[in-house]
Amino acid sequence: MDSKIVSLRSKLEIYKAGSGGGNIADCPVRDVIQGISNKWSSLLMMALAEKPYRFGELRRLVPDISQRMLTQTLHDLQRDGYVHREVFPTKPPSVEYSLTDLGRSMFGPLHQLLQWAELNHGAVRAARNAFDATET
Amino acid sequence: MDSKIVSLRSKLEIYKAGSGGGNIADCPVRDVIQGISNKWSSLLMMALAEKPYRFGELRRLVPDISQRMLTQTLHDLQRDGYVHREVFPTKPPSVEYSLTDLGRSMFGPLHQLLQWAELNHGAVRAARNAFDATET
DNA sequence: TAGTGCTGGTCTCTTTTTGAGACTCATATA
DNA sequence: TATATGAGTCTCAAAAAGAGACCAGCACTA
């Protein structure tokens, strides 16, 4: 019986239906997780965990992200405090993105998940194939 | 110098621009992570890690998910092998969802991340507020 | 001196994904 | 007979993502 189970309901429920207030920020897990569980965030965190990168470098490193989503995802990661953005007065000016301490702290557990993914890719693919075979 | 850094590039790049083939499945991390990094997956994993739930119970537990997305997310989690779906011949029939062994295995690292989120919610909120204050 | 490329973006338009909510179907209950 | 139930599906509107043109200032080249 660990305590996570006891407090699950309060972590999930963000607000009661009906009158009062209630905001998504009332659920810490959702508030934080939804910022990093989107298509590009974990990928960019992974890149920046290696070393700081400039905008164009990231774009080349992740060739199928659009400039629009790269800008926006970096902006969101910066807003949540995971990423630091620094402009250098070169001509033309260059911008470097790096992880903050908070970003590195968050990358710890994220990295565990990424490693799980790498290790269990085969099992997931197998499950998918099995599922697709029976449902057709 | 750990090995994650050495192999970062191969994990990120899914295909070279230009001719040949190349598939998203060539990048294990992306192939697996994109299945679980969406708005509802981690939340449902969290619920099912507690105990098996039926469709309607999940809907009540997560009041702001639409039936459409609940159906679809559960379907995707089942396809990737994390969730087991069992139909009971009651009238009307009821359906129970539970984690598979693979699902429980994946929930290990995911749970670490969720705990980080809970613990660092304050820091993230503070970062957001600071960011919003300077940018206006 | 005009043309080209580099930087890190923004703007607009189209396509895809999500959300809201009505509808189904067979049974049970009031 | 009217209504509720469980687990969805279907349709339509709204939001988000993707594609790709465009922008500014400066350096280098022809």
Q: Can you say how many angstroms the Cα of residue B114 is from the centroid of all Cα atoms in its chain?
A: 11
- Predicted confidence at residue B76, as pLDDT, reads 98
Token couple for B45: 């994993």
Residue A104 identity (one-letter amino acid)? R
Q: Is the confidence at residue B6, as pLDDT, over 50?
A: no
Confidence tier at A73 by pLDDT (50, 70, 90)? very high
Distance CA B74, CA B71 (A): 5
B99 three-state secondary structure: strand
pLDDT per residue over A32-71, tens digit each?
Answer: 999 999 999 999 999 999 999 999 999 999 989 999 999 9
Distance CA B12, CA B6 (A): 12
Cβ–Cβ gap A5/B50 under 8 Å: yes
- Predicted confidence at residue A83, as pLDDT, reads 98
Q: Is the confidence at residue B97, as pLDDT, over 70?
A: yes
Q: Is B112 on the interface with A (CB under 8 A)?
A: yes
Q: Under a CB-based contact definition with an 8 Å cutoff, are residues B124 and A80 in contact?
A: yes
- Predicted confidence at residue B134, as pLDDT, reads 86
Range with the poorest average pLDDT among A114-123, B4-13, B62-71: B4-13
Token couple for A40: 């590009």
> Which residues make Cβ contacts (< 8 Å) with residue A120, sequence separation at least 6?
B32, B102, B105, B106
Confidence tier at B53 by pLDDT (50, 70, 90)? very high
Strand order in the sheet with A83-88: A53-54, A94-99, A83-88
Distance CA A56, CA A53 (A): 8
pTM confidence score = 0.88
ipTM above 0.90, yes or no: no
- Predicted confidence at residue B45, as pLDDT, reads 97
- Predicted confidence at residue B16, as pLDDT, reads 34
Cβ–Cβ gap A109/B105 under 8 Å: no
Token couple for A101: 């301490």
First to last CA, chain A: 41
- Predicted confidence at residue A56, as pLDDT, reads 96
Q: Which nucleotide is nearest to A54 (CA to C1')?
A: C8
- Predicted confidence at residue A18, as pLDDT, reads 31
Q: Is the confidence at residue B78, as pLDDT, over 80?
A: yes
Q: Which residue is nearest to nucleotide D17 (CA to C1')?
A: A69
- Predicted confidence at residue A8, as pLDDT, reads 54
Confidence tier at A134 by pLDDT (50, 70, 90)? confident
Higher pLDDT, B4 or B116: B116
- Predicted confidence at residue A113, as pLDDT, reads 97
- Predicted confidence at residue A84, as pLDDT, reads 98
Confidence tier at A135 by pLDDT (50, 70, 90)? confident
Q: Is A72 on the interface with B (CB under 8 A)?
A: no
